[in-house]
Amino acid sequence: MSQFHAYPAPAKLNLTLKITGRRPDGYHLLETVFRFIDLEDTVELASRDDGVIELLTPIPGVDPDTDLTVRAARLLQQACGTRQGASIRLTKRIPMGGGLGGGSSDAATVLVALNWLWNAGLSREGLMALGLKLGADVPVFVFGRNAFATGVGEELTPLDLPDNWYVVLHPGVHIPTAQIFSSPLLTRNSAPSIMRTLETTQQRRNDMQSVVRKNYPVVDQALNELSAYGPALMTGSGSCIFLECDTQDQANKVFEQLSTKWRGFVARGLSKHPMFDKG
């Protein structure tokens, strides 16, 4: 077995999220802005000659065969026909089921890093197409730039975003994405934007938020509290909510004033994925 190499897998926020329609297969058409933040999982990888893919640090409650890191490694192995395998160590810091995309980011990091370690030679576009088979959120992490997204989240236009900071609260509930997308209360007919840019703060919204607020009162409470400081929004299908601030100082001040019953953190918005320039 070769030695382990460590790679970052950042979390994302959906700065705005509209549902604009539904495909015949039931998947929803979205319009969203993805922003990477500096909360990261760490994925360590070592290639091995026996072809085995093994996760040495299973997540409690997640069958290693269904872990997105293992599924990503197996998919790439198949796609490029390599005889090499990989040992994987995963350090989780991104809360699960929080709309922060941790599992998707871990998967993307595995695709990009094993493509290097195995000399598999796939293009970024090829890896994004593989990633889409694992989840709608995976392609943007392979893409590596903050982005305006349409389709199911895979049609991406890079965006340059200001150097903002975010107060992020985790209301302590795990929300399954599929449950919110299947709600009869969800609106699915938002008008698409004309420009592929981040709209002004007042126009930002999350079409999944009102369903989550109804079904999870604790998310409603957290939104009410954070909204006292500015236009707070939920990310993805929740449960995390966030408030954008201009400076670290502002974000820290808001965070310090919040009730201590909320778990949360202050994060910096990244200008791109930390592995982007190495690709």
Ligand X SMILES: Nc1ncnc2c1ncn2[C@@H]1O[C@H](COP(=O)(O)OP(=O)(O)O)[C@@H](O)[C@H]1O
Ligand Y SMILES: C[C@@](CO)(OP(=O)(O)O)[C@H](O)COP(=O)(O)OP(=O)(O)OC[C@H]1O[C@@H](n2ccc(N)nc2=O)[C@H](O)[C@@H]1O
Burial annotation 74-86 (CB, 10 A radius, 16+ → b, else e): ebbbebbebebbb
131 binds, among ligand X, ligand Y, none (CB under 5 to 8 A by kind): none
26 labeled binding residue: no
Least CB distance to ligand Y at residue 52 (A): 26
Query: Which one of 76-84, 90-98, 119-127, 219-227 is the stretch in contact with ligand X (CB under 6 A)?
Result: 90-98
Q: How far apart are CA 174 and CA 239, in angstroms?
A: 7
Which one of ligand Y, ligand X, none interacts with residue 116, CB within 5 to 8 A by kind?
none
The correct pick among 10, 85, 95, 153 for binding ligand Y (CB under 6 A) is 153
- Asked if residue 169 belongs to a known ligand binding site, the reply is no
Q: Report whether 132 contacts 154 (CB < 8 A).
A: yes
Residue 77 C-beta-side C-alpha neighbours within 13 Å: 19
Q: Is 171 in the site for ligand X (CB under 6 A)?
A: no
Strand partners, 203: none
137 is catalytic: yes
Active site residue 278: no
- Can you tell me which of 47, 150, 206, 237 binds ligand Y, judged by CB under 6 A? 237
Q: Which of 9, 14, 111, 156 touches ligand Y (CB under 6 A)?
A: 14
Q: Is 238 annotated as a binding residue?
A: no
Say whether 100 counts as a known binding-site residue: yes
Q: Which of 10, 131, 135, 269 binds ligand Y (CB under 6 A)?
A: 135
Inter-CA distances, 141 with 72, 100, 137, 234, Å: 13, 12, 7, 20
Q: Is residue 100 a contact residue for ligand X (CB under 6 A)?
A: yes
Does 95 participate in binding ligand Y (rule CB under 6 A)?
A: no
- What is the amino acid identity at position 53? I
Among 81, 178, 194, 260, which residue interacts with ligand Y (rule: CB under 6 A)? Answer: 178
Stretch that binds ligand X, among 61-69, 199-207, 252-260, 262-270 (CB under 6 A): 61-69
Binding residue positions for ATP = 95-105
Binding site for ligand Y (CB under 6 A): 14, 27-28, 30, 32, 99, 101, 104, 135-137, 152-153, 177-178, 181, 236-237
**Residues contributing to the site for ligand X (CB under 6 A):** 59, 62, 67-69, 96-104, 106, 177, 236
Catalytic residues, which ones? 12, 137
